[in-house]
Structure 1
Amino acid sequence: MATPHHAPSTDGGGWLSRSRTVAEPGFNRWMVPPAALCVHLCIGQAYAFSVFNLPMSKLVAIQTADPALAGQPIPAIIKATESVPDDWKLTSLGWIFSLAIVFLGLSAAFGGAWVERAGPRKTMLAAAAFFGGGFIVAGVGVAWHQLWLVYLGYGVLGGCGLGLGYISPVKTLMTWFPDRPGMATGMAIMGFGGGAFIASPLSVFLMNHFSTETHIGVAETFFVLGVVYFVFMTVGAIIVRVPRAGWVPAGYVAPTRSSAMVTTANVHVDEALKTRQFWLLWGVLCLNVTAGIGVLGQASAMIQEMFPAVVGPDGLTTGGITAAAAAGFVGLLSLFNMLGRFFWASTSDYIGRKTTYLIFFVLGIALYAFVPTAGQMGSVALFVAAYAVILSMYGGGFATIPAYLKDVFGTQYVGAIHGRLLTAWSVAGVLGPVLVNYIRQYQIDSGVAKADAYTVTMYIMAGLLAVGFVLNLMMRPVNERHHIAVTPSPQPA
């Protein structure tokens, strides 16, 4: 067995300490998911960050626009400045989101052990400071037209807020819901998938409100969002609670022996990295996310290019998918991304995590391989249905993985282990978009029609999922030598 490790400390000082968050007798455990949602609905804004890309490419160009555009919606202003060279290239702006995802994984990995010691309240408040403060710094960067400050603000500081905020409630929720750990984490992580529903229209509304004939209100929008998100995430930090030692829900009987892929032992976070199981799950998450995130980032362009609208001699658009319809498609995918997190994570409580991921990979392989056929058939309905299911499993993978880790490594250090595992998300956040974008461009440069430029990519994604299927199939219980040694309780004389 591994050398005994000390459990996370419960320091006794200060309102932010873990000891000050211990619930009083009679506390309703259903108050904890809303606290987690206060954080995850805010940091889920990351999925809506692309609404700022075009406006930020015209921060200077708008100064040459027609004064009659004052008060017009952002799309009208962007349209009027199409002939003016971009002052910040979209390729440069795309790195803001990628940086945020990279630092999400890094902060979760390096901060995971601290999260275990500090407790959820201190971590949530730190996440609020990083995420809200990141918006403020990014807003200054936009106002001064310094892209490096936007990278620093949203990419680095905001990314750290994303990472700490993402993992902060995970262990707390599983401790409150030992009978349904998948459902518990699914409730919170569902918020991350649905945060874009709030952030996207709110961001557009604020930009329209602050825009003038010579100014796009991106900076002011960043300042307002920074304050709003800080306040709401702080509310989550205030109401969060951890259960007192030994608490279990009424009627729950904790298992006394391990079974199949569910252990009753615990593995220290440092020891977990020495196991084959950790790296198998790292690959499982990375491959599942790579396949989904690449599509999510290019969904609008993909459906428009695979089902192009035809502009007639009279200037009217007929058939195909318009930009407005593509926006609706993106919204539908976000909805399935959100709902899939709760549905699949809850389902995993009944059929097991390993089986759930096997479904993800088998069904994903079939759907990715089918998508090019749906495009060739001209069936928009089948195309949309396939991607809706794919994105539900993309979200479900995120929500199911914490419970999978808890089953394999135990509850004690699951938060820190989850943080280390999220580096897989950092890699996938770069790998997925690169595969989709660069293979598409290579196909087009080789003379392939835009409608067929995604075919090879879809088959590659199916191949990646096949590798993930094999990795998940190789999962076995952790060897007992990695378990934390339990000191026997002294027996009465």
Structure 2
Amino acid sequence: MASTSDAANGSHSAPGLLDREAIVAKPGFNRWMVPPAALCIHLCIGMAYGFSVFWKPLQGALLDANGNVIPECSAGAVTFGEKAVGTLRALTATDCNWSQFDLGWMYTFFFVLLGVSAAIWGGWLERAGPRKAGLVSTLCWCGGLLIAAFGVYTHQLWLMWLGSGVIGGIGLGLGYISPVSTLIKWFPDRRGMATGMAIMGFGGGAMIGSPLATFLMDNVFKTATDPGVWQTFVAMAVIYTVFMIIGSFGYRLPPPGWKPEGWAPPVNAKSMITNNHVHLKDAHKTAAFWLIWTALCLNVSAGIGIIGAASPMLQETFGGALAGAPELGYAEMKDNAAIAATAAAVGAGFVGLISLFNIFGRFVWASSSDYLGRKSTYFIFFTLGAALYVLAAFAADWKVMALFVLCFCIIASMYGGGFSTVPAYLADIFGTQFVGAIHGRLLTAWSTAGIVGPVIVNYLHDTRYAEGIPPDQLYGQIFYILAGMLVVGFIANMLIRPVDPKWHMSEAEVAAEQAKLKSAAGDNGGSYGIGKGGLDAKAAAFWTLVGVPLAWGVWQTLEKALVLFW
């Protein structure tokens, strides 16, 4: 808020534009303008999932005088220790190429920093408001891309890690949680649906960003000596900046006490939904917080490692059957270039298909939770997920690819559904006053799962492979272990109970938190002209802005997925 001296000097307009109090909705505002604003940001930062499209071009970025690819900095290394030494050299070396191991650390930075930054700055976001948080996210994510572009241009891996990995990861955290509290307050009647729409965008960001990046590299910037990666980073930073600024300035807050016309909070209709609020400083002191943290962590851990290994998992399990040669195992298939290429295309289609289920599962499951209840929805995730992992192990043994693919499509939908349902789960348990910041702290479960899940899957895979287990039998034991993790998650979810009333904020505390916004809303805070639903012309135009690129991304993904059926 601008100071008195600023106001006297006439310089209060710029700071006021970003203040939380400045974005309280006025009469006539349509609440359906808020979800596309959130999508503008989530569709951009969701490109973090698609960064692997840059790995192969970057691995061959440096050429010798004869036009041949220079060896990797960790060339010849076969053990983790030697790989680590190679990566340390790769951080600053300009005479060797980066390996996938070197570049893969970007994913670790992305999702660890996402959870850490959301936890650290979630409280600031509640005070500053979603507009300011969205703009800081824009600065970090897009600025990080520019720093990474300079790192690619100068071939300095540490700048890649710092730019997109660390600074960009902070932008991911702030951008991810920026709309959560706002959407829940605008849609108290459809909490799951509202957060599902936004968080669907994070899953869909790679659907748009990956084919866009590939097009820019291959058709616009690539030359005989340059893969076009740094130029693509710059172009995407510019595009994302425009969309994220539009989204940030599209955010509006409902006045305190506002509710949709004709809607009343349920009275003891669902015991798991509270009409009270728990302060941010107290939420982590409750058993409910840590049980939800455990449930989310186990749901994500069980899914993220398998999703990350989807293509090789399918190829190792079914081998030449993917290319119409079921008599060839995975090892024999690799020796036939044509069959291996066809199998790889089918593997890419499988990745595209589970990506679609991951994305739309975020919306479908979260929306369904408005009717099923959040606890019941998580029960479905754990029981059905565990059963599907066991069924997938049998499908692998039976060599029934259709059943195998179906299992993992549904698992992927519940992986995404866990993310989109949890903000509404938190609002039910802790109230809406600090739900954005509480959600930020809970995302440390994602950071933990982002390490635990892939480590379990990759370690067991490599260990079993070293023991000489055939490729088509590598994953069965892994599936049973992941099913066991979901059983533990089921128990954690079963133990979740409403928060003890001793943690509820008093009416005076809630009133003090809402005082500034009430002042900003003036006499119109209870007006039914605020937040009336419906797709009027302005809302339809805003939805079109995000809907067209999302539809294009879905089509691009479907084209790849069709390989599975032809």
Q: TM-score, normalised by structure 2?
A: 0.79
Q: Distance in 2 between matches of 1:362 and 1:263?
A: 26
How far the C-alpha of 1:255 sits from its partner, in A, is 3.7
How far the C-alpha of 1:369 sits from its partner, in A, is 1.3
Q: Indicate if the aligned counterparts of 2:365 and 2:417 stay in contact, CA closer than 8 A.
A: yes
3-state secondary structure, aligned to 1:305: helix
- The sequence identity of aligned pairs, in percent, is 53
- The structure 1 residue matched to 2:356, chosen from 292, 311, 335, is 335
Counterpart in 2 of 1:197?
A: 207
Q: After TM superposition, list the pairs within 5 Å mapping 1:30-109 onto structure 2.
A: 30-61=32-63, 64-65=66-67, 87-109=97-119
Counterpart in 1 of 2:21?
A: 19
- Judged with a 3 Å threshold, the aligned counterparts in structure 2 of structure 1 residues 138 and 256 are, in CA distance, closer, same or farther, namely same
- CA deviation vs aligned residue, 1:343-397 (integer Å, no higher than 9, x gap): 0000000010000000000000001111121111111111110000000000000
- The aligned amino acid for 2:389 is Y
- The aligned amino acid for 1:117 is R
Q: Distance in 2 between matches of 1:36 and 1:313?
A: 44
- Judged with a 3 Å threshold, the aligned counterparts in structure 2 of structure 1 residues 433 and 312 are, in CA distance, closer, same or farther, namely closer
Q: Distance in 2 between matches of 1:319 and 1:221?
A: 30
Counterpart in 2 of 1:273?
A: 284
> Is the counterpart of residue 213 in structure 1 residue 234 in structure 2?
no
Q: Could you list the runs of 5+ residues in structure 2 that have no partner in the other structure?
A: 1-11, 70-94, 321-327, 512-566
Q: Distance in 1 between matches of 2:415 and 2:333?
A: 38
Q: Could you list the runs of 5+ residues in structure 1 that have no partner in the other structure?
A: 1-10, 68-84
Counterpart in 2 of 1:177?
A: 187
How far the C-alpha of 1:468 sits from its partner, in A, is 0.3
The number of equivalent residue pairs is 462
Q: Indicate if the aligned counterparts of 1:181 and 1:403 stay in contact, CA closer than 8 A.
A: yes
- CA RMSD, Structure 1 to Structure 2 (Å): 2.2
Counterpart in 2 of 1:425?
A: 446
How far the C-alpha of 1:102 sits from its partner, in A, is 0.4
> Is the counterpart of residue 253 in structure 1 residue 264 in structure 2?
yes
Counterpart in 2 of 1:75?
A: none
3-state secondary structure, aligned to 2:116: helix
> Is the counterpart of residue 399 in structure 1 residue 404 in structure 2?
no
Q: Indicate if the aligned counterparts of 1:135 and 1:223 stay in contact, CA closer than 8 A.
A: yes
Deviates more, 1:312-321 or 1:337-346: 312-321
Q: Distance in 2 between matches of 1:49 and 1:125?
A: 22
Q: Distance in 2 between matches of 1:222 and 1:370?
A: 42
3-state secondary structure, aligned to 1:322: helix
How far the C-alpha of 1:320 sits from its partner, in A, is 11
- Judged with a 3 Å threshold, the aligned counterparts in structure 2 of structure 1 residues 398 and 96 are, in CA distance, closer, same or farther, namely same
Q: Indicate if the aligned counterparts of 1:280 and 1:471 stay in contact, CA closer than 8 A.
A: yes
How far the C-alpha of 1:38 sits from its partner, in A, is 0.2
Q: Indicate if the aligned counterparts of 2:333 and 2:340 stay in contact, CA closer than 8 A.
A: no
How far the C-alpha of 1:245 sits from its partner, in A, is 2.6
Q: Distance in 2 between matches of 1:461 and 1:59?
A: 38
Q: Indicate if the aligned counterparts of 1:120 and 1:237 stay in contact, CA closer than 8 A.
A: yes
How far the C-alpha of 1:86 sits from its partner, in A, is 7.1
Q: Indicate if the aligned counterparts of 2:145 and 2:168 stay in contact, CA closer than 8 A.
A: yes
Counterpart in 2 of 1:3?
A: none
> Is the counterpart of residue 146 in structure 1 residue 167 in structure 2?
no
> Is the counterpart of residue 323 in structure 1 residue 344 in structure 2?
yes
- CA deviation vs aligned residue, 1:154-196 (integer Å, no higher than 9, x gap): 1101101110000000010011101000000001001111111
- Runs of 4+ deviating beyond 6 Å: 311-314
How far the C-alpha of 1:315 sits from its partner, in A, is 5.2
Q: Distance in 2 between matches of 1:406 and 1:313?
A: 51
Q: After TM superposition, list the pairs within 5 Å mapping 1:350-365 onto structure 2.
A: 350-365=371-386
- Judged with a 3 Å threshold, the aligned counterparts in structure 2 of structure 1 residues 308 and 315 are, in CA distance, closer, same or farther, namely closer
3-state secondary structure, aligned to 1:266: coil
Q: Distance in 2 between matches of 1:313 and 1:161?
A: 41
Q: TM-score, normalised by structure 1?
A: 0.90
3-state secondary structure, aligned to 1:308: helix
Q: Indicate if the aligned counterparts of 2:334 and 2:340 stay in contact, CA closer than 8 A.
A: no
